[in-house]
Amino acid sequence: MKSTLMTPDRIVAAVRQQQQRFQRLSDATLRDHTDELRRLRKSQHRHNRSISSGWQRWKRPDAAEPMIEAHGLMAEALRRTTGKLYYDVQLQAGWILAAGSIAEMQTGEGKTITTGLPAFWQALAGRGCHVSTVNDYLARRDFETLQPTFELLGVGVGRIDSEMSLAEKRQAYRCEVTYGPGFEFGFDFLRDQIALRSAPRPRLGMRHLAHLRGQSIDKPHSLIGRPLACAVIDEADSVLIDEANTPLILSGQEHAMRQASSDPEAYRVADILAQELQPEEDFSLDPVDRKISFTPTGWFRIHEHFAKANPLRLARAWSCYVENALRARQIFRRDVDYVVRDGEIQIVDQNTGRIHPERSWRNGLHQAVQTKERVAVVPEQQTQARITRQRFIGQYDSICGLTGTAQAAARELKDFYRLSVVSVPTHRPCHRFGLPSRHFSNLQTKHASIVAEIRARHANGGPMLVGTRTIAESRTLSAALHNCGIPHRTLNGIQDEAEADLIAIAGQPGAITIATNMAGRGTDIALTDASRARGGLHVIATEHHPCARVDRQLIGRAARQGDPGSYQFFVSAEDEIFQHAPQLAESISARCSGAPEAQHDFSTEIARLQNDLENQAYQRRTQLTRADQWLDRVLETVAKEAV
């Protein structure tokens, strides 16, 4: 018997047919069709029919029919408001997302308008849909792109950001579709948990009486959002995996806590002592795990120094202040872990290379770094609420997401989030090719070779993107190019309109752009015909990231949408990744044997190292999840015993 399952080709053909039918209808009639679908979706929810129960379910024609109509409506509304038409691969990806899976969609394939398809479908259920991006700028850009499309169909759409008032946020959350950065959705959830925790509890029996009377006991009016129903997550692997080890922490300063805060002089005294302590004699340093351990001699010196110092008001043990000061001096590096900007310490996200002014380290570490850099020391922030990212994402009834590098993380996405990964073909064939990696014994030789390569390629007039792992390295290369008189642009780690404009013109003939790996991510690098004729964008990767997916995201900036493009890695035995494999670093140095460059390809060994590091990171995230589950069981037991 011939299968009647909805294959990707059948799905696309059916959506196209619906769109053609809708082309003959007025805007008002399109809204009428939206209202009919909205009633159907709400009815499905009332009867406990799953809103998105997996990719396989939506392959059945009987289940697929309403979604086909919804996607046809969205496609026609997009055409009327923007003049754009969905590619077949975008319709396929939208279907995968609406079915509750992860779509692996390559960079440059038009993710912004693709997210509109699942957002519209989920919004029809009437419970709200969050479209989560990695920062404020991308949320605003995507919102402004699709706002007219949603509004034509009568769907309310809003946006949140970190600068909005609570009243503005409440209004945005009441919309059927809400755009915003993922971390802000999480922080608003924590704010609501604090409000619920602070609200007076109803007296015993009041809920039962209200139920008998057909009434309800309202939740506090101070709540910002509403129950978490559905999230469409952009850059899903980065959000769900790379940032999973970093919990969302809401901090603040309460009056009672300020009374017990540390004396600012304590940080200065600890910093002076940290500069006097000697490695090995007073402390040992583990650069891989970024840990410091005191020797018996070190412990004696710490307490002896404290006994002789003037009385200090402390919020924790004195040894913690000294350890923080040592970490600030010995481990945390300027323009790598943080930058100093406008008299403030601003943290650099090690996964993305982006700068986050709103973040701060806890337990006095931020103040230790401020003391080291001689900037104003601000009072410590007190943790008011926190939640792991896995736990927060688990609060949603359904999630889906898209990214260009999902298959490598398919096991973890399945284990932690029960999400399947479905790959989507590119709209046009990919013409990206890689040049052999080059390996050097030290950073100085590597940087000199990168500058020489840039100089040679610049003479040909092709555009180049130089991707660095740290801001410090981008500044080093920028200074070297400046000394050679080679014009270029350097991007910092804050993504805003200015950075997006710069990255968008990085495909012009002769353009040289130096940026951290993730700078400008989400913005297409458009090529001119002249750039295509010169081979397209060439990406120079100055260092391997511990996570191979980040490397693939960087080289994916080249050769988008059928354009030509190329990439090449430059590797030094002194690169940070080799702190995890010193023997491999020694092998690279030995192969150079006095020559500036090794005549051997270490790509296989580096790929094996990255795989080992990713497995270690997976184990850490697994342990974090198990600890969270254990805490859940403990709290549940305590709650039962309290009844």
Residue ranges of the binding site for ATP: 90, 108-112, 524
CA atoms within 13 A on the CB side of 190: 21
CA dist list (Å): 193 to 187, 223, 228, 359: 10, 9, 13, 20
Closest listed residue to residue 274, CA positions, set 382, 345, 365, 377: 365
Start-to-end C-alpha separation, the chain: 58
Residues 6 or more apart in contact with residue 132 via CB below 8 angstroms = 180, 181, 182, 185, 231, 232, 233, 234, 239
What is the DSSP code (8-state) at residue 463?
-
365 in Cβ contact with 356 (< 8 Å): no
Helix, strand and coil percent figures for the chain, each rounded to 5? 50, 15, 35
Residues 6 or more apart in contact with residue 208 via CB below 8 angstroms = none
Q: How distant is the alpha carbon of residue 537 from its chain centre?
A: 25
3-state secondary structure labels for all residues of 19-70: HHHHCCCCHHHHHHHHHHHHHHHHHHHHCCCCCCCCCCHHHCHHHHHHHHHH
Rounded distance, CA 436 to CA 424, Å?
Answer: 28
139 in Cβ contact with 161 (< 8 Å): yes
Rounded distance, CA 312 to CA 296, Å?
Answer: 24
Collapsed DSSP state (helix, strand, coil) of residue 3? coil
- Beta-carbon count within 10 A of 497 CB: 10
Rounded distance, CA 344 to CA 13, Å?
Answer: 55
117 in Cβ contact with 52 (< 8 Å): no
Q: Which residues are annotated as a binding site?
A: 90, 108-112, 524
Closest listed residue to residue 323, CA positions, set 373, 361, 273: 273
3-state secondary structure labels for all residues of 517-575: CCCCCCCCCCCCHHHHHCCCEEEEECCCCCCHHHHHHHHCCCCCCCCEEEEEEEEECCC
378 backbone φψ class: left, alpha, beta (φ>0; ψ -120 to 50): beta
Rounded distance, CA 566 to CA 557, Å?
Answer: 10
Residue 212 amino acid letter:
L
CA atoms within 13 A on the CB side of 240: 29
Handedness of CA 126, 132, 136, 140 (dihedral sign): negative
User: Is 204 exposed, middle or buried, given 0-12, 13-18 or 19+ CB atoms closer than 10 A?
Assistant: exposed
Rounded distance, CA 189 to CA 389, Å?
Answer: 12
Rounded distance, CA 54 to CA 238, Å?
Answer: 22
Collapsed DSSP state (helix, strand, coil) of residue 223? coil
